[in-house]
Structure 1
Amino acid sequence: MQNTEEIWRLVDTNQDDFIALSDRVWEMPELCYAEVRSCAEHTAMLEAKGFRVTREVAGIPTAVMGEAGEDGPVIAILGEYDALPGLSQEAGVAQQKPLPGPGFGHGCGHNLLGSASMLAATAVKDYLDANGIRGRVRYYGCPAEEGGAAKGFMARAGAFSDVDIAISWHPSSFSGVNPANSLANTRIDFSFQGRASHAAASPHLGRSALDAVELMSVGVNYMREHMPSDARVHSAILDAGGVAPNVVQAFAKVRYLVRAATLPELSKLVERVRKIADGAALMTETKVTSQVVSAVSNLLANTPLERAMQDNLDRLGPPPFDEADRRAAAEFQATLSDEDIEASYRRAGVPVRPNAPLCDLIIPADAMAAGGIGSTDVGDVSWVVPTVQARGATYAIGTPGHSWQLTAQGKMPAAHKGLVHVAKVMAGTALDALRDETLMARAKADHQARIGRTPYVCPLPADLDPPIKMSA
């Protein structure tokens, strides 16, 4: 207990610098693989705090790693800093009010995610140095979680090959251990090539690539009735073939995002989607080619680490939100539906608590998350090294992910308090793993038992490079 309190004090000592870092990154939202300024801010902070810095991890210009300590076990703490398109919003305003500019926004809280993780790593670094303990702590600044699968490319390149334990977190309505529920996914671009023609004078000479895209959509929609209930398929037309309706569209491109509970299930579903694309090309007498953009694995659990993190959460208690924080959160809750709020409680596995706009409890270890499962490239790290994640309360209960409301709350005092709170949870968990050889051994044994049943196969094609121009 005394050791934990010491590392929590080290988090408090450094918190102002990392709150400021989080706010700076919020003010410069950048999309996946284009986080040049955000990565530079993280790199500068690593250098200022005395970490040994490695730039362009795995050949990715916006990936960075900072290491401190000598010899001993390696603890990795993972951070992110990419934003999302279409979610620009003025800070602290509980009505939709986009800022001037390209329209990007931190609608998933990754400005907080990276800063809290580096704050935790800094506290561990300072603790190791002050107490003369063998061990190394690394902060990994990971770009492109939103669709770019950067951690998958980093894992494939061996960036985590000598790591003993990996720790991360994600902003949330509630504080607790993040259950290892996520969907494996892959993003594939399907390009259809047809033949242009005058749509009125000679329509019979044209072969419409846009028709092929639309027929593919019809086929996928019929497939939904015959796929696992937890699988998901989404699409976005990247190129509709032009804006002239009197020209038969000779080219069109659509991106499909296919999700499934496990990698084997994903592979089967992707093959079915590919057959539908081939069928659409056959029906329209066009040609189709495909290109995998990214892919991620489902999360792998680690029971010993999850128990250690839960113990830190239970000892620390909920974030220290005050009445001013609750009043501000209530303003954002007023913009939400009852269904939004109920769904948030349901995912947390706890009963609805009326008149509680912010988290005032730690989610129990036996609470079960239900529904609303997404995907994360942390999944690939979890197959390579024992991994645990926290959920950190940083915004009003019910706030949907990827929403303007979440962007708006990214610089509020409650978000800052949640950042510091979850940094303490991660730092305490890291310290437990470093000081308790038994915990480290049990975590590794648990991991080996899981991958022994189903060995890891990276879902990224071997010849696929990181799509660093994805957001160009």
Structure 2
Amino acid sequence: MTSQAQQIALLHVDTIQPHLSEWTKTIFDFGETAWREYQSCAWYVARLRAEGFSVEEGSGGMPTAFCAHWSNGPGPVVGMYAEYDAVPGNCQDAATVKRPRPGLSELAGGHTDPHSGLGIASLGGLLATKAAMERQGIGGTLRFTGEPAEKVRGSKPIHAARGYYDGLAAMLSFHPFYMLPLCNTARWDTHCGAAYAMIYRFVCDRPEDWLGHAGDRAPIPQSHSAVRAPGANDALMTMYLSSKALRDSMLPHQGGWSISEAILTAGQATADNLPAALSEIQYMIRVPTTAMADQATAVLDVNAEAAARMTGCRVERHWVCKSRPGLANHVMARTVFGALQAVGAPQWNERAKRIAREIQENAVGSSTTEPFIDECERLIPPQEAEAILRRDLAPSQVNSTSDDYTDMCWHAPTARFYVARPALRPAAGKRYPSWVMNALGGIPETIDPMVTCAAKTLALSALRLLEDAVTREEAMDEFIRRTGGGIGGSNWIAPLCDYEPPIHFRWPEYVETVRGREWWIPTGRVD
């Protein structure tokens, strides 16, 4: 049974739905990637201020982060958040065919999860909660953080360490469904694991000192025949290959855990006869526990030092993230799933199905009568989803997969829930290329049902927590019990972040040139 305030919130989401659709497309088209979400962040800041929120820009020392507040008098503080970073190399238009957004190459950024829908759904839930609080005179405060660089688990460990999640009665964390059985449900016991990410920077700033051959009696020490250091490119390749060879010894390859790498910067030589001066490689370690992350990091450190010594370089390690594993809260999970039950799973109309069939035809050459998988329009109770998830996990494995909402869990009772993004059922027995999911996340007819459902679920959950002191107290009691006394308790894991925001690296981004705005890798356009 929904309260009067909750009914007002549901109606408010329906009223602003055209705006939510337009806003989702706006963020989708920005397609900005980690630590470089300038337009997206500015859009949120302006929108929130227009809606009456006070906004701190650059929260936690991150230029593309923010923290917004709105208060309706004394009462509990409930938190929500937006993500808005995209992924390099996934530039896809909101279209039924494979093509990049206008004026860009497919190498540019694009939304895969999609965080464009995640953030606007959260904003919709926030605004609906605010409208109901105003109409019904409900006291309390809404806190809304802007979380950049989620794809590298970037902002939340920093926000956590700097106190942005302290003082919350509850945190609500929504994500588009991305793997079965976590579709239209909430996480129960098995939450996401720990993750470390770091950049190893190799610098060859004294190549003439390689093996003590200063000058090497050559007229020009940097000549083709002079003995000189191999340089930073060789260091990077040595690091890359040695770490690949040792991965089996770093952690067990089961349960969805991984160590992956991305080369940020390589080369920097101005001629082919000069050693490369700088190279950078990022590693992301996704594992169940911080102890396993420490073990893998120790091996990577050894490899990096060896690679540097072999190639006449020095090495620096810079942290991108150190995030904790998640913490369950059954009261919060039940509360959010109850709200999702009241809203119902998202439904796709015939217009959306026609678009989906057109995508099927263009992607694999055939279509199905019902193009979306059945799970998209069904709810699954958290305990049932948990049982399915656990079937493929070792009994001793506490966590599964990776996401940085986990840092929020240690500062407030947190619910992690999922609403179905559109996903297509197989046609002609063929797998879909990645552009298909990316396109479905940008086409209004296919992504709007998820955004609307999630916004309503967030609003109903927030209002339940604001209005129902018993539920709120039960959630906090469970948080205190699981942490062994709350923040600082015997089972509490303190923030791991002991580094400054890694904003100064050569992260992929859009640039302004005489040719106009383009991706940092030139598109080759001649127009």
CA contact (8 A) 2:78 2:143 kept: yes
Structure 2 residues without counterparts, runs of 5 or longer: 209-220, 394-398, 485-489, 510-527
CA contact (8 A) 1:152 1:460 kept: yes
State the Cα deviation string for residues 44-64 of structure 1 (Å, max 9, x = none): 322333333333323333323
Q: Tell whether 2:323 aligns with 1:299.
A: no
Q: 160-169 vs 41-50, which deviates more?
A: 41-50
Aligned equivalents of 2:274 and 2:57: distance in 1?
Answer: 48
Match of 1:321 in 2: 348
Q: Looking at CA atoms only, which structure, 1 or 2, has the larger radius of gyration?
A: 2
Alpha-carbon offset, residue 424 of structure 1: 1.0
Distance 1:284 1:398, change over 3 A: farther
Distance 1:363 1:52, change over 3 A: same
CA contact (8 A) 1:333 1:357 kept: no
State the Cα deviation string for residues 224-256 of structure 1 (Å, max 9, x = none): 222222442111223332576554445432222
Alpha-carbon offset, residue 422 of structure 1: 0.9
Which of the residues 250, 253, 260 maps onto 1:229? 253
Which of the residues 423, 428, 431 maps onto 2:460? 428
Aligned equivalents of 2:327 and 2:19: distance in 1?
Answer: 33
Distance 1:397 1:451, change over 3 A: farther
Alpha-carbon offset, residue 423 of structure 1: 0.8
Superposition pairs of residues 235-274 of structure 1, within 5 angstroms: 235-242=261-268, 246-274=273-301
Match of 1:73 in 2: 76
- Paired letter, 1:362: L
Structure 1 residues without counterparts, runs of 5 or longer: 338-352
State the Cα deviation string for residues 274-318 of structure 1 (Å, max 9, x = none): 112223334445432221123332222211111111122223221
- Paired letter, 2:355: A
CA contact (8 A) 2:62 2:501 kept: no
Distance 1:457 1:331, change over 3 A: farther
TM-score by length of 1: 0.86
State the Cα deviation string for residues 46-98 of structure 1 (Å, max 9, x = none): 23333333333233333231323211111111111222222211212232445
Q: Tell whether 2:431 aligns with 1:406.
A: no
Query: Aligned to 2:263, what secondary structure does the other structure show?
Result: strand
Alpha-carbon offset, residue 158 of structure 1: 1.0
- Paired letter, 1:206: A
Alpha-carbon offset, residue 429 of structure 1: 1.3
Match of 1:346 in 2: none
Aligned equivalents of 1:141 and 1:242: distance in 2?
Answer: 34
Match of 2:419 in 1: 392
Which of the residues 189, 199, 215 maps onto 1:189? 199
Query: Aligned to 1:2, what secondary structure does the other structure show?
Result: coil
- Paired letter, 1:2: T
Match of 1:219 in 2: 242
Alpha-carbon offset, residue 167 of structure 1: 0.5
Distance 1:270 1:354, change over 3 A: farther
Match of 1:347 in 2: none
Distance 1:298 1:402, change over 3 A: farther
Alpha-carbon offset, residue 189 of structure 1: 1.6
Number of aligned positions between the proteins: 455
CA contact (8 A) 1:109 1:171 kept: yes
Structure 1 stretches of 4+ with a deviation exceeding 6 A read 196-199, 398-402
Distance 1:193 1:56, change over 3 A: closer
Query: Aligned to 1:146, what secondary structure does the other structure show?
Result: helix
Alpha-carbon offset, residue 384 of structure 1: 1.5
Aligned equivalents of 1:284 and 1:59: distance in 2?
Answer: 35
Match of 1:125 in 2: 130
Q: Tell whether 2:225 aligns with 1:210.
A: no
Distance 1:138 1:468, change over 3 A: farther
- Kindly, what percent of the aligned residue pairs are identical? 26
Aligned equivalents of 1:235 and 1:62: distance in 2?
Answer: 24
Aligned equivalents of 1:122 and 1:327: distance in 2?
Answer: 32
Aligned equivalents of 1:240 and 1:167: distance in 2?
Answer: 40
State the Cα deviation string for residues 151-193 of structure 1 (Å, max 9, x = none): 2211211112111101121123632224653232222221224
Distance 1:6 1:239, change over 3 A: closer
Kindly report the root-mean-square deviation, in angstroms, between the aligned alpha carbons of the 2 structures.
3.0
Distance 1:390 1:333, change over 3 A: farther
Query: Aligned to 2:281, what secondary structure does the other structure show?
Result: strand
CA contact (8 A) 2:129 2:459 kept: yes
Q: Tell whether 2:496 aligns with 1:459.
A: yes
Q: Tell whether 2:448 aligns with 1:416.
A: yes
Distance 1:302 1:88, change over 3 A: same
Distance 1:285 1:58, change over 3 A: closer
Aligned equivalents of 2:304 and 2:290: distance in 1?
Answer: 21
Match of 1:340 in 2: none
Match of 1:45 in 2: 47
Alpha-carbon offset, residue 419 of structure 1: 0.3
Q: 310-319 vs 277-286, which deviates more?
A: 277-286
